[in-house]
């Protein structure tokens, strides 16, 4: 059986995975300034480089020459692809299409020459097509490769980019380079610490790539900890962008600092081959964003080429305004705007400097006159100065070119008329511009059609540069690009198809423009799907009356109105396998759990956060599949009335959800209290207690069955994990426990029990579903005497994370200790206890997760403990192990110190006991202060004397 050919993205990903394993992926190859490797893949017939995944795919091939072209393009240059050479595919997407404009009666609208007028429309579904290209080394008779030296000093241009970005760059604070999201700052060693200047700038630009991901710029997810998969994905984007920037600027590229991420890159591409496509696209966005800052450097060069200083200063102001504009708009819009700037620069590339400046200056003036910043006369003077003729201030962007002839009437009077009306060849071509009132103003006569076309192109570029709507600008740029390629006499079929997909659909089919949300309705009415054309068409037995609304003539060229963000985000969740019911989605900016396909009873493997503020946006992750999705509402604004309505709906949902949650928590708490009343006491033979050398205290054991509970109890008990699984599936709204597990009650400062933590023999810990854990705790070593008795007995309030650690400390200190269950609950418990017992000093005995610092770059146990201590003006103490003991055995808490360290329980007594003694002495001094110092001064004095230790 013939093997199915793999998809393009799978082929590219597999090839890059193999190269990653060997250290030979494009962004893994180092180069020095001036190396041939630094030249990115380029098409020699168009002069444009390949972008995104195409660039990586071509660079991954074993060729040194950066030139790639199609078979027909090679023929057009008088060259020939050698027989037997294998081509490489490149992929292109088309987002807009061209169609004939029609009037209200569905008749084609004609221009003055009788030709149909065409318009650009945005495709509902972008189309993809492929081209086969060959490297120059596979082609005979091509000219020798000639690489022009840049017109700039690479290092000066790199420095200019760093300065123009206004990024906060700090030197010398550390020996490594990094970007810190919390302070939005780049940290680098001193320049002299780098072996060469180009290494410094390559590193700085790499970190500038991370800097672009801030939410105020390109808004990538930078919150992942060091060493995580998310961190590796961001590093992949920055490294590819660093390679592209190095190639663009002509500086070196040193990937040696990022070998640690190779395994995570391989894993990411194996799990999702399309990740490399997204990474390459994001890298291009990074490069586009950064290169905007380099454009200001051209000002000095233009002065050297004869441009007067006043004009150069004006150009500089415009570039600075552009940079400021990109900084102040939304990240999503900034991406589009940066891309538009890049395309506009490509379209003006090769034009005389004065023409380029004319486009920029006249477009700037046109924006001002449209916004009322200057008057019509001032604008027309700018146009007259730069073009040699005046253009109307109320120009609507439309241009007409008409072939004209001179007609002489019977009285010998000459007049200009359309050559088409006389059925004659034009003698010259007139260019007119349409005003807002639909009338036309003549601006210039041209001797040849080409001259008229060149002028039309110039005016079209002015119009697109003046366009303030970035989405409209994108469509106009695409139209100019397509027209330019179509009018290019050496354009090949492939290059034309790159701008305009060939119209080869079956003429017998009547195609439809069906929105995705309406596909089921269209299908029910008889619409059929053309898999090749990727479009719907009228089927042989269709209900044409129903489908008529989606015929092209009945569909506006504009996008459909925005749908309710709730509906849109709900559709996204459903598409990702979520079970959207109840109040979901709750778009309040908070974290929410949701069921996904494959979840069992009680499981919620989906996680999302979404908001309606400003531009509605959200994030979703399926923890079962690992797939993450970021969402932004379609680019439409809601009316004030819609915003008010949505905000009100959210508020009502939040209120209802909170009330339901509180009612459920009370119901669960009542059931758990009844369970604790009948549960047998735990003994020291429980496997977990034996492993931890912990006392049973007032712990309970989950009974063998629920026979002694009320018949309507929401608690079910299984004998093993298989039975528990079945019970959870049968009773999804109940609490299902495993017989024999330990039970730890979780109470608040008033003694109310709200939850229980279960501990299995292997140490696995769970809280009862639907219960309230936050701010609750368990008192260890108090013999059930209550919270007040525990606090009064102890010299200080000692708080630990888990039960076993709290019990170890209670034994060592011979006093009650509070177990907060985990590091995330330390601050809440400490604050509640501090509020109730303000004169009792608090000691947080934290876990030192030292082994995690080398893997994820964070020490959550230590960080949370220090945070909790700071909030209550208390002290934090951490275990100190014997040399080399902590890392080798992964020890992290005081229970480990007592039972797994050579130092033993005596070390716990010394390390924590000394802090308790110090705090006790401090408490006595504080008592004296309270008798002598006014309250506010006393409070400040106490705060100053309390310190964090160890």
Structure token pair of residue 672: 């758990």
Record: fold of 639-775: DNA primase DNAg catalytic core, N-terminal domain (3.90.980)
Q: What pLDDT, on the 0 to 100 scale, is given for residue 305?
A: 45
For 440, the token pair is 């036309």
Question: What pLDDT score does 313 carry?
Answer: 64
Given a cut of 90, is residue 744 above it in pLDDT?
yes
**Which strands, in side-by-side order, build the sheet including 627-632?**
591-594, 606-611, 617-622, 627-632
Least confident window among 346-355, 722-731, 748-757, 867-876: 346-355
- pLDDT number for residue 302: 46
pLDDT above 90 as % of the chain: 21
- The domain limits of the chain are 152-342, 350-468, 511-554, 565-638, 639-775, 777-950
**pLDDT (tens digit, 9 = 90+) per residue, 201-228?**
888 888 999 998 888 788 888 887 777 7
pLDDT at 857: 66
Query: 650 and 618 in contact (C-beta within 8 Å)?
Result: no
Contacts of 483 (CB under 8 A, 6+ apart): 457
Which residue did the predictor score with more confidence, 505 or 145?
Answer: 145
**Among 945, 756, 923, 915, residue whose Cα is nearest residue 846:** 915
Q: Closest Cα partner for 836 from 891, 881, 901, 777? A: 777
Mean pLDDT of 838-852: 88
Model confidence at 675, pLDDT cuts 50, 70, 90, reads very high
Secondary structure, 3-state, 688-701 = HHHHHCCCCCCCEE
Residues 6+ apart with CB under 8 A from 17: 266, 269, 270
- Please state the rounded mean pLDDT for residues 824-831: 94
Q: 299 pLDDT exceeds 50?
A: no
In this predicted structure, what is the pLDDT of residue 486?
56
- Contacts by 317-322, CB closer than 8 A, 24 or more apart: 318/360, 318/361, 318/364, 319/295, 320/296, 322/292, 322/295
Q: Who has greater pLDDT, 472 or 207?
A: 207
**CA-to-CA dists, residue 192 to 159, 570, 817, angstroms:** 15, 54, 53
Q: Give the pLDDT of residue 535.
A: 66
What mean pLDDT is reported for the chain? 79
pLDDT category of residue 504 using cuts at 50, 70 and 90: very low
Confidence grade of residue 268 (pLDDT, cut at 50, 70, 90): confident
Q: Which of 795 and 27 is assigned the larger pLDDT? A: 795
State yes or no: pLDDT of 500 exceeds 60.
no
Band of residue 949 on the pLDDT scale cut at 50, 70, 90: very low
Predicted confidence at residue 680, as pLDDT, reads 95
pLDDT at 303: 39
Residues in Cβ contact with 43 at an 8 Å cutoff, skipping those fewer than 6 apart:
49, 50, 67, 68, 69, 73, 133
Residue 865's SS3 state is: helix
**Pick the residue with more confidence: 458 or 926?**
458
- Residue 754's pLDDT band (cuts 50, 70, 90): very high
Average pLDDT estimate for 400-421: 79
Supply the pLDDT for residue 790.
92
CA distance 593 to 595: 7
What is the 3-class SS of 75-107, one letter each residue? HHCCCEECCCCCCEEEEEEEEEEEEECECCCCC
904-939 pLDDT, tens digit each: 999 999 999 989 988 888 767 766 665 555 544 545
pLDDT attached to residue 556: 46
Using DSSP bridges, classify how beta strands 428-435 and 511-512 pair: parallel, antiparallel or unpaired. Answer: unpaired
Q: Residue 72 pLDDT more than 90?
A: no
**685-692: average pLDDT:** 93
Distance CA 448, CA 404 (A): 11
On whether the pTM is more than 0.85, the answer is: no
- Mean pLDDT for the stretch of residues 593-609: 83
Please check the confidence at residue 420 and state whether its pLDDT lies above 60.
yes
User: What average pLDDT does the segment 62-73 reach?
Assistant: 88
Which residue is it, tokens 């081209």?
131
* Calpha distance 842→633 (Å, rounded): 47
Is residue 505 within 8 A of residue 511, CB to CB? The reply is: yes
pLDDT of residue 257: 58
pLDDT at 199 over 50: yes
**Is residue 447 over pLDDT 70?**
yes
Going by C-alpha positions, the residue among 511, 397, 473 that lies closest to residue 122 is: 473
Residue 566: which of 645, 646, 655 has the closest Cα? 646
Least-confidence region, from 94-108, 472-486, 705-719, 914-928: 472-486
642: confidence class by pLDDT, cuts 50, 70, 90? low
Query: Confidence band (pLDDT; 50, 70, 90) for 488?
Result: low
Q: Answer yes or no: is pLDDT of 490 > 60.
A: no
Q: Which of 405, 320, 318 is nearest to 365 (CA)?
A: 318
Q: Is the pLDDT of residue 306 over 80?
A: no
Q: Does residue 509 sit in helix, strand or coil?
A: coil
How much of the chain, in percent, has pLDDT values that exceed 70? Answer: 78
Highest mean pLDDT among 584-598, 611-625, 742-756: 742-756
């Amino acid at each position: 059986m013939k093997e199915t050919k793999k998809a393009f993205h799978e082929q590219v990903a597999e090839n890059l995975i193999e190269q990653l394993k060997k250290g030979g992926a494009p962004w893994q190859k180092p180069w020095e300034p001036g190396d041939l490797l630094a030249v990115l893949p380029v098409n020699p017939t168009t002069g444009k480089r390949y972008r995104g995944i195409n660039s990586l795919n071509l660079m991954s091939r074993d060729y040194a020459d950066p030139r790639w072209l199609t078979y027909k393009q090679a023929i057009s240059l008088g060259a020939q692809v050698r027989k037997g050479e294998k081509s490489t595919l490149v992929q292109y997407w088309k987002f807009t299409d061209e169609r004939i404009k029609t009037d209200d009666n569905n008749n084609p609208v004609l221009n003055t020459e009788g030709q149909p007028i065409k318009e650009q429309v945005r495709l509902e579904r972008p189309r993809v097509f492929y081209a086969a290209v060959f490297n120059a080394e596979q082609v005979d008779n091509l000219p020798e490769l000639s690489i022009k030296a840049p017109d700039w000093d690479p290092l000066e241009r790199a420095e200019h980019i760093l300065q123009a970005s206004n990024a906060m760059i700090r030197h010398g604070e550390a020996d490594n380079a990094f970007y810190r999201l919390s302070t939005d700052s780049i940290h680098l060693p001193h320049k002299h610490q780098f072996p060469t200047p180009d290494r410094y700038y390559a590193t700085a630009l790499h970190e500038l790539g991370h800097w672009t991901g801030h939410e105020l710029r390109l808004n990538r997810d930078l919150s992942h900890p060091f060493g995580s998969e998310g961190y590796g994905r961001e590093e992949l984007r920055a490294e590819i962008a660093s390679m592209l920037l190095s190639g663009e600027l002509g500086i070196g590229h040193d990937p040696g600092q990022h070998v640690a991420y190779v395994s995570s890159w391989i894993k990411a591409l194996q799990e999702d081959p399309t990740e490399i496509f997204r990474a390459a696209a994001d890298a291009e966005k990074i490069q586009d964003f950064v290169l905007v800052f380099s454009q200001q450097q051209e000002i000095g060069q233009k002065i050297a080429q004869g441009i007067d200083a006043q004009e150069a200063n004006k150009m500089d102001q415009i570039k600075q305004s552009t940079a400021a504009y990109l900084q102040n708009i939304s990240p999503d819009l900034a991406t589009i705007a940066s891309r538009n700037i890049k395309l506009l620069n490509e379209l003006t590339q090769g034009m005389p400097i004065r023409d380029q400046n004319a486009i920029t200056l006249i477009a700037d003036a046109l924006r001002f006159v449209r916004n009322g910043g200057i008057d019509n006369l001032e604008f027309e003077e700018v146009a007259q100065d730069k073009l040699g003729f005046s253009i109307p201030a109320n120009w609507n962007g439309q241009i007409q070119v008409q072939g004209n002839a001179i007609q002489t009437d019977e009285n010998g009077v000459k007049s200009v008329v359309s050559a088409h009306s006389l059925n004659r060849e034009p003698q010259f071509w007139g260019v007119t511009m349409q005003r807002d009132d639909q009338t036309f103003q003549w601006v210039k006569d041209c001797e040849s059609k080409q001259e008229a076309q060149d002028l039309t192109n110039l005016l079209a570029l002015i119009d697109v540069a003046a366009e303030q709507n970035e989405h409209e600008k994108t469509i106009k740029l695409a139209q100019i690009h397509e027209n330019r390629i179509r009018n290019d006499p050496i354009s090949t079929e492939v290059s034309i198809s790159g701008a305009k997909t060939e119209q080869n659909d079956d003429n017998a089919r009547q195609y439809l423009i069906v929105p995705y949300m309406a596909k089921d309705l269209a299908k029910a009415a008889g619409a059929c799907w053309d898999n090749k054309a990727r479009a719907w068409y009228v089927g042989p037995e269709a209900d044409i009356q129903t489908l008529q609304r989606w015929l092209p003539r009945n569909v506006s060229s504009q996008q459909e109105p925005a749908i309710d963000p709730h509906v849109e985000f709900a559709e996204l969740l459903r598409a990702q396998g979520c079970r959207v019911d109840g109040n979901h989605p709750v778009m309040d900016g908070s974290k929410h759990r949701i069921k996904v396909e494959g979840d069992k009873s009680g499981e919620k493997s989906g996680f999302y956060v979404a908001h309606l503020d400003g531009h509605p946006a959200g994030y979703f992750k399926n923890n079962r599949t690992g797939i993450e999705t970021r969402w932004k509402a379609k680019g439409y604004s809601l009316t004030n009335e819609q915003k008010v309505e949505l905000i009100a709906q959210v508020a009502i949902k939040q209120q209802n959800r909170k009330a339901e949650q509180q009612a459920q928590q009370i119901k669960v708490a009542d059931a758990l209290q009844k369970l604790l009343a009948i549960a047998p006491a735990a003994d020291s033979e429980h496997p977990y207690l034996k492993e931890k050398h912990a006392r049973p205290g007032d712990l309970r054991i989950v009974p063998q069955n629920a026979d002694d509970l009320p018949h309507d109890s929401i608690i079910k008990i299984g004998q093993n994990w298989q039975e528990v699984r079945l019970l959870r599936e049968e009773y999804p709204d109940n609490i299902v426990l495993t017989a024999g597990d330990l039970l730890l009650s979780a109470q608040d400062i008033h003694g109310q029990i709200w939850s229980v933590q279960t501990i299995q023999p292997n140490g696995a810990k769970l809280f009862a579903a639907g219960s309230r854990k936050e701010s609750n705790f368990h008192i260890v070593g108090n013999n059930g005497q209550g919270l007040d008795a525990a606090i009064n007995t102890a010299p200080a309030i000692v708080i630990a994370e888990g039960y076993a650690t709290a019990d170890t400390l209670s034994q060592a200190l011979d006093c009650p200790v509070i177990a907060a269950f985990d590091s995330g609950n330390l601050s809440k418990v400490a604050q509640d206890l501090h509020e109730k017992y303000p004169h009792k000093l608090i000691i947080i005995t934290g876990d030192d997760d030292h082994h995690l610092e080398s893997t994820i770059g964070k020490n959550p146990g230590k960080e949370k403990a220090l945070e909790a201590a700071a909030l209550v003006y208390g002290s934090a103490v951490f275990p100190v192990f014997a040399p080399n003991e902590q890392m080798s055995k992964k020890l992290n808490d005081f229970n480990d110190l007592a039972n797994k360290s050579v130092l033993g329980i005596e070390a716990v007594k010394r390390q924590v006991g000394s802090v308790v003694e110090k705090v006790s002495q401090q408490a006595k001094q504080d008592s004296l202060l309270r008798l002598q110092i006014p309250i506010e001064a006393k409070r400040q004095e106490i705060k100053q004397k309390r310190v964090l230790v160890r």
